Amino acid sequence: MKKGTKKYYVETYGCQMNKYDSELVAGILNQHGYHQVRSAQESDLVLVNTCSVRQHAENRVFGRLDALRLLKLKHPDLIIGVLGCMAVRLQDELLTQKPFVNFVLGPDNYRKLPGLLSKLNNGSGQNQLKLAEFDNHEIYSELYPSRTSGISAWVAIMRGCNNFCSYCIVPYVRGRERSRLAKDIVAEVQQLVQENFVEVTLLGQNVNSYHNGDHDFADLIEMVANVPGIIRVRFATSHPKDLSEKLIDTIAGHPKICNHLHLPVQSGSDTILKLMNRKYTRSHYLKLIKTAREKIQDLGLYTDIIVGFPGETEKDFQDTLGLVRQVEFDGVFVFKYSPREGTAVYGLEETLTEQEKVKRLQTLNQIQDEITLRRNQQLIGTVQRILVEGASKKAKFNQYMGRTESNKIFVFDSNKKVDGSLLDVKVISAEGRTLFSELL
Ligand code: SAM
Ligand code: SF4
């Protein structure tokens, strides 16, 4: 990077937590006089914030890095840094196999970024650096992320994970679980209101195990929902083993906490759940759903499922399909099992071919698509309250997009600018996961 030039571009792969982290890194760089730009081509520094949860995510990053190598051939001063989970999991491998990458920086080391950049900049001859240690005290609590303005913001309430699901790389690349102080989280949300955000999503790998001082997650979410100016609070992700009745009651009882639950079940087979080290059974999960649906009105229920886990038989898969048919989720995110080196089940013989995994993924998606459509069609003719997020992505000129509390996506036409408004719409039709509606 040329001295005096400080334009950076951040590109993010993976989950919402990574998106939050990219905003955190942007906040750190902005404080040090750097300036964010909209494309790698315009920048002196490209940061690629990466995900290691599945091989596919890593392959995408490798492909992207190769494209950045070509950009660097044209602009030899360009600095390329890899952040996030791959910076920990593949630290040395990345630096050797991709010699044009200047540094890897793990999720607990972001506040050291300006120092690292000045080392690269000071003509010391060092053109590859690595900072990827864990710091189990790092929660970045006093730092403020730099967000693109909007109506909805992510707020990390904790970092790391202690659950060690047997397939999952997260605890190995993000370290142990630690929670931020409730007062710091509330202060961040108050600041967000000053910036005209009206909705927040509280983030953690397992928000249900949030704990700091006297406050558990139910206490925290209530404190956040009580911040004046906040209209809606969401949260992700909930682990079924820690979803308490107190939390269900809190969601049910507070008008600003959305009736939206993302509760990954992963499998409908007790044998597989045990092998996954999930620490709950199918019947426990079903009981939770029953209680949540009884107490929380019009609950929007979403889940994650992994197909093709080592040893998953046709009977196990049928158990999962049976659970999906029984529960009738509003949405399911289905993933093919991806072996992750270092996890407890890595090396277990895979009992399905890639084709069989794909088949199971497609079968499950098809069943869920029918359920989603049927549930959405039941809403035709009803009036729903949505928070407008902005222009619809496939925007016709005056088409807007908004969500219900239960996380259903609506599009509608409006001649007036309505971003950030809470509006009532009448449902006209349902297509795929989208509901078409008209303003009342
Ligand atoms: N902490 C959250 C939880 O426990 O539900 C989710 C975190 S993980 C980044 C998101 C989803 O990725 C998981 O719910 C799981 O379905 C999926 N996942 C994690 N490891 C995987 C693997 N090795 N192969 C395929 N899917 C995986
Ligand atoms: Fe991974 Fe399980 Fe932790 Fe979620 S709870 S991040 S799936 S180890």
User: Is ligand 1 within 6 A of the CB of residue 205?
Assistant: yes
Pocket test residue of 169, 206, 272 for ligand 2, highest count of atoms within 8 A of CB: 206
Ligand 1 nearest-atom number relative to CA 204? 1
Could you report the per-residue pLDDT of 19-77, keeping only the tens digit for each?
A: 999 999 999 999 999 999 999 999 999 999 999 999 999 999 999 999 999 999 999 99
Confidence check: pLDDT of 322 > 80: yes
4 pLDDT tier (thresholds 50, 70, 90): low
Task: Identify the pLDDT of residue 359.
Answer: 98
395 pLDDT tier (thresholds 50, 70, 90): low
How far apart are the C-alpha atoms of 280 and 259, rounded to whole Å? 23
Pocket test residue of 209, 335, 338, 341 for ligand 1, highest count of atoms within 8 A of CB: 335
Q: What is the mean predicted confidence (pLDDT) over 117-123?
A: 82
| Contact present, 404 and 385 (Cβ < 8 Å) | yes
How far apart are the C-alpha atoms of 278 and 167, rounded to whole Å? 10
User: Is ligand 1 within 6 A of the CB of residue 357?
Assistant: no
122 pLDDT tier (thresholds 50, 70, 90): confident
Pairing of strands 158-159, 178-179: antiparallel
Q: Is the dihedral of CA 61, 65, 66, 71 positive or negative?
A: positive
Instruction: Report the 3 state secondary structure along 286-297.
Output: HHHHHHHHHHCC
| Contact present, 118 and 201 (Cβ < 8 Å) | no
Count CA atoms closer than 13 A to 105's CA, side-chain side: 23
For atom 12 of ligand 1, which residue has the closest CA? 53
Confidence check: pLDDT of 375 > 70: yes
User: Is ligand 1 within 6 A of the CB of residue 98?
Assistant: no
The pTM for the full model equals 0.96
Count CA atoms closer than 13 A to 79's CA, side-chain side: 29
Could you report the per-residue pLDDT of 220-260, keeping only the tens digit for each?
A: 999 999 999 999 999 999 999 999 999 999 999 999 999 99
Ligand 1 nearest-atom number relative to CA 15? 9
Confidence check: pLDDT of 158 > 90: yes
Confidence check: pLDDT of 404 > 70: yes
Ligand 2 nearest-atom number relative to CA 206? 5
Q: Is 363 exposed, middle or buried (0-12, 13-18, 19+ CB in 10 A)?
A: middle
Both structure tokens of 362: 């497609």
How far apart are the C-alpha atoms of 122 and 129, rounded to whole Å? 13
Q: What is the mean predicted confidence (pLDDT) over 418-435?
A: 94
Q: What is the mean predicted confidence (pLDDT) over 88-117?
A: 97
Could you report the per-residue pLDDT of 329-366, keeping only the tens digit for each?
A: 999 999 999 999 999 999 999 989 999 999 999 999 99
- The mean of the pLDDT values for the chain is 95
**Phi, psi (5° rounding) for residue 383?**
-105, 130
Confidence check: pLDDT of 402 > 90: yes
Both structure tokens of 356: 């069989």
Cα 345 from chain centroid (whole Å): 24
Task: Identify the pLDDT of residue 411.
Answer: 95
Task: Identify the pLDDT of residue 361.
Answer: 98
Confidence check: pLDDT of 314 > 90: yes
Instruction: Return the percentage of the chain with pLDDT > 90, whole number.
Output: 91
Confidence check: pLDDT of 381 > 90: yes
Task: Identify the pLDDT of residue 5.
Answer: 54
Peptide bond between residue 237 and the one before it cis (omega within 30 degrees of 0): yes
Strand partners, 179: 158
The CA 264 to ligand 2 mean position distance, Å, reads 10
Could you report the per-residue pLDDT of 173-218, keeping only the tens digit for each?
A: 999 999 999 999 999 999 999 999 999 999 999 999 999 988 999 9
Strand partners, 159: 178
Task: Identify the pLDDT of residue 121.
Answer: 75
Q: Is 295 exposed, middle or buried (0-12, 13-18, 19+ CB in 10 A)?
A: middle
125 pLDDT tier (thresholds 50, 70, 90): low
How far apart are the C-alpha atoms of 412 and 426, rounded to whole Å? 9
User: Is ligand 2 within 6 A of the CB of residue 163?
Assistant: yes
